[in-house]
Structure 1
Amino acid sequence: MQPLLFGYQRRWFQDKSRFKIGKFARQTGKTFTTTLEIVDDAYAAAVAQKRTRWVILSRGERQAAEAMNEGVKLHAKAYGLVFDEVKPYDWVGENGSYRALEVELPYGSKITALPANPDTARGFSANVFLDEFAFHKDSGAIWKALFPVISAGWKLRVTSTPNGKSGKFYELDTADDDTWSRHVVDIYQAVADGLPRDIEELRAGIADDDAWAQEYELQYLDEASAWLSYELISAVEDANAGDPDGYQGGPCYVGRDIGRRNDLHVIWVWELIGDVLWCREIIEQKREKFHVQDMAFDEVMRKYNVARACFDQTGMGETIVEAAQRRYGERIEGVLFNNSSKLIMATEGKQRFEDRTVRIPEGNVTLRSDLHKLRKVSSATGAPRFVAERDEDHADRTWAAFLGIHAATTPQMEYGYIPVHRAPSKFEETGSERDDGAPYRLGSMRRSRGIY
């Protein structure tokens, strides 16, 4: 019944251990294979005229939908299991409601997919699949809520790519015990087992040693000196961030990190919704002429209601800041980068991440790596300084983000603003709301988020 599987997928599928954990390289089919096992279990139950129950807990609504539609639904049809269409409904828990997707199979077997949180984790008595568990927000709390539920004999499947030396997945994967059947599939093992990937092409494409080590070689990167841990970064990722079409016309704060030859030129646009800064757009340029960079910034000023913009004024930034101030007046502020100003901006940025009052694009490997690479070290005199090691761009995206956050710490200025004509924001097309009170709708992005 099952489709042809690569060697590592077959080993995972055939392992019937009650507790099973898999550390897989990115895009090696871990969700596809685990949903196949779930459907196979439902098929075996149907043959025996029994029922089974599975719950898939994903990092968000989009991932839950992918697991259901590109995994469960596909496999169930291949097995010839008759079912109605996937049914969406609002699952109501103690702390709110969550969008769930469910399919009912012969003899009453059910498979449900929904976002993971402590509420949903304790809400079912079922076999459980924790999909990309290292990226779940509040993974420790989810685990505490979940384990009493599955202790009554249910099975547990946990898969993920590493996400730094923190979180419950890291703890489970590195524990010295015999409870778990552990599977490790890095990109080299996957390709050796038949996965059609060009390893050198992948490595050249990601162009980041840390990201490659973690996403494809499955190394846990050290969190001890990272200014922003992967746990902090994951906690503020959102599927709707980084999409200019989501702009609601509110005040925006812009950070602009200047670079020409070796460094990136990055423009980061934040929109303030309630007390949350939503990333609306990240523009990156390398080796572009300064007038082209200025054109990109002018377009930002035209598209968005920019209350304030902070530029890196160091070195070549002096002339660029002066020119922008002539065009836009006091809304433009230059920041001279030194140990003191960097500490102020980095502290403001980290506070926002810790308070979860920012939203950044979800699943952007390059951006996550850039945010994580910033380290705080002490000089010979004991003074703090920030470094970004092993990379050519020196965390330019991170400093652009922090410059924008710094711009948002100053009072909003009153000025004449004529908005450009724009289609209604995707968030304005529905009456539903986000947790910060702003209109909200999940949906497919109409352009690439975060990196252009």
Structure 2
Amino acid sequence: MIAVPLHAYQQRWMRDPARFKLGMFARQTGKTFTTTLEIVDDCFAAAVEGRRARWVILSRGERQAAEAMNEGVKRHAAAFNMAFDAVDFDWKGEAGSYKALEVTLPGGSKITALPANPDTARGFSANVFLDEFAFHKDSGAIWKALFPVISAGWKLRVTSTPNGKGNKFYELATGKDERWSRHIVDIYQAVRDGLPRDIDALREGIGDDDAWAQEFELKWLDEASAWLSYDLITSCEDPTAGDPEGYQGGVCFVGRDIGRRNDLHVIWVWEQIGDVLWERERIEQKRATFAEMDEAFDGVMERYRVARACIDQTGMGEKVVEDAQRRYGSRIEGVLFTGPSKLIMATAGKERFEDRTVRIREGDPALRADLHKLRRVASATGAPRFVAERDDDHADRTWAAFLGIHAAGGPTVEYGYRAAPRSALLGHNSRMRSDDYEADDLPDPLSRQPLGARLRGGL
């Protein structure tokens, strides 16, 4: 029984009784909504037949698990006029405790939603829904833990948009075996089947060809030459990163990539917590005046305890760096974008991602595509160089992030200060002076060898 109106592609998914079912759906097409409807419908049928159904929803994180439960399961149960009891609790596994949400339906059927990891994957004997599986961290380990559990006749539902080729979802979606029933619904098919979406507006809104190809056209982007794979990017995403309200008052490092007409002007703020850099704020401007760009940068310097800021000094960045150094002194380092300097910054950035010592905003398609589009290629002389294919902004977000990571490299000194008045910051002859600080015997907090000196000394 289906108590909710569905588009044709959703009906095909709902009515497919296959035990192993995979759906690769474009973004904003209702894959979680439709699959949670199937789960509730199965529980309804179980109640009518006098039996119990058991389902577990494994999502990429606590927030997504809560959305699947609140926006999916509970809404569908209400549409079926099914009373339910809802609880949340700390589910304890072998490796730790996890926030779980659970609904009990008439007849004793239960649906539990919680974040996916190998621990939760092996913790239940139930039908399983892997929601946005391509974005699960350690998807291969989750699969190894899960499959023996569902081998005793349980159903398995797997849905996602693509996320590169380095994950278990890619392997399942491109498999040739007939045990899986595979549903592929790109944005064009969804609109043909009745989904009310303006394709041109969506494409313009996402503003990135790679992101559009992957998120809406379901294309598998090449990972071979990507400097940062999608799997690596996903492993460093966190739902609490990228929110200025999460700033804990720690020392921050800033990267600033200069662009005006065709490129983005990007300011990236990292906060250091322990050995991890957390994205706190990212400002993006296009076709802004230099005054507007400087105003945005001054705001960052006022709001955060910035130990060091590295700014792209190439071309139009010369004056930007000079003005920033006049206002903020030795906390500002200008970086000329040359082949060797980009290699140093890109290498340091990749090492941070590989070591999982950065946390970036979760579920940001433009950022993910920007980080992924950077590729290392060989020049005619054999020297390595970095390019960003099929874009209008040359991976500006990525370079701002790498500039900030470079700023955080090497030893720094904890300091305290009071922010200078904004009028002083914007004055013609303003410059941060030693008496603007409230620390005893302050050494230079940025005392490390600048990138220029490192290059002169050799790679």
TM above 0.5, one fold? Answer: yes
Helix, strand or coil at the partner of 1:349:
helix
CA contact (8 A) 1:331 1:413 kept: no
Residue in 2 that maps onto 1:22:
23
Deviations 1:158-200 (A, max 9, x none): 0000011120000001011111000000001100000001111
Alignment-mate amino acid for residue 212 of structure 2:
W
User: C-alpha separation between the residues in 1 aligned to 2:89 and 2:3?
Assistant: 29
Q: After alignment, is 365-374 or 75-84 more displaced?
A: 75-84
Residue in 1 that maps onto 2:431:
none
Residue in 1 that maps onto 2:79:
78
Residue in 2 that maps onto 1:54:
55
Residue in 2 that maps onto 1:43:
44
Residue in 2 that maps onto 1:282:
282
Residue in 1 that maps onto 2:349:
349
Residue in 1 that maps onto 2:392:
392
Helix, strand or coil at the partner of 2:102:
strand
**1:40-439 matched pairs, under 5 angstroms:** 40-84=41-85, 86-413=86-413, 415-418=415-418
Shift in Å, 1:418: 2.2
Helix, strand or coil at the partner of 1:232:
helix
Alignment-mate amino acid for residue 56 of structure 1:
I
Q: What is the number of equivalent residue pairs in this alignment?
A: 419
User: C-alpha separation between the residues in 2 aligned to 1:404 and 1:118?
Assistant: 33
Alignment-mate amino acid for residue 49 of structure 2:
A
User: C-alpha separation between the residues in 1 aligned to 2:361 and 2:41?
Assistant: 35
User: C-alpha separation between the residues in 2 aligned to 1:347 and 1:56?
Assistant: 38
Helix, strand or coil at the partner of 1:223:
coil
Q: Rg bigger for which structure?
A: 2
Alignment-mate amino acid for residue 26 of structure 2:
A
Helix, strand or coil at the partner of 1:51:
coil
Shift in Å, 1:419: 6.3
Query: How high is the TM-score relative to the length of structure 2?
Result: 0.90
User: C-alpha separation between the residues in 2 aligned to 1:410 and 1:260?
Assistant: 31
Query: How high is the TM-score relative to the length of structure 1?
Result: 0.91
User: C-alpha separation between the residues in 2 aligned to 1:353 and 1:53?
Assistant: 38
Runs of 5+ consecutive residues of structure 1 not aligned to the other structure: 421-452
User: C-alpha separation between the residues in 2 aligned to 1:31 and 1:352?
Assistant: 32
User: C-alpha separation between the residues in 2 aligned to 1:320 and 1:221?
Assistant: 36
Runs of 5+ consecutive residues of structure 2 not aligned to the other structure: 421-459
Residue in 2 that maps onto 1:442:
none
Shift in Å, 1:414: 5.1
Taking only aligned residues, the RMSD between alpha carbons, in angstroms, comes to: 1.0
User: C-alpha separation between the residues in 1 aligned to 2:93 and 2:161?
Assistant: 29
Alignment-mate amino acid for residue 101 of structure 2:
L
CA contact (8 A) 1:305 1:419 kept: no
Helix, strand or coil at the partner of 1:76:
helix
Alignment-mate amino acid for residue 211 of structure 2:
A
CA contact (8 A) 1:57 1:131 kept: yes
Shift in Å, 1:307: 0.6
Q: Percent identity?
A: 77
Deviations 1:258-307 (A, max 9, x none): 11111111000000011110000000111111111111111100000001
Shift in Å, 1:411: 2.0
User: C-alpha separation between the residues in 2 aligned to 1:103 and 1:282?
Assistant: 38
**1:1-20 matched pairs, under 5 angstroms:** 1-20=2-21
User: C-alpha separation between the residues in 2 aligned to 1:411 and 1:330?
Assistant: 15
CA contact (8 A) 1:21 1:173 kept: yes
Helix, strand or coil at the partner of 2:65:
helix
CA contact (8 A) 1:12 1:183 kept: yes
User: C-alpha separation between the residues in 2 aligned to 1:316 and 1:415?
Assistant: 31
User: C-alpha separation between the residues in 2 aligned to 1:412 and 1:296?
Assistant: 25
User: C-alpha separation between the residues in 2 aligned to 1:314 and 1:82?
Assistant: 64
CA contact (8 A) 2:251 2:414 kept: no
Shift in Å, 1:415: 4.5
Deviations 1:192-222 (A, max 9, x none): 0000011111111112111111111100000
Residue in 1 that maps onto 2:444:
none
Alignment-mate amino acid for residue 353 of structure 2:
F
User: C-alpha separation between the residues in 1 aligned to 2:310 and 2:363?
Assistant: 27
User: C-alpha separation between the residues in 2 aligned to 1:289 and 1:419?
Assistant: 24
Shift in Å, 1:410: 2.8
User: C-alpha separation between the residues in 1 aligned to 2:197 and 2:411?
Assistant: 51
Helix, strand or coil at the partner of 2:142:
helix
Deviations 1:341-399 (A, max 9, x none): 10010010001111111111111111111000000000111110000011111000000
Shift in Å, 1:416: 4.2
Shift in Å, 1:55: 0.1
CA contact (8 A) 2:269 2:279 kept: yes
CA contact (8 A) 2:206 2:212 kept: yes
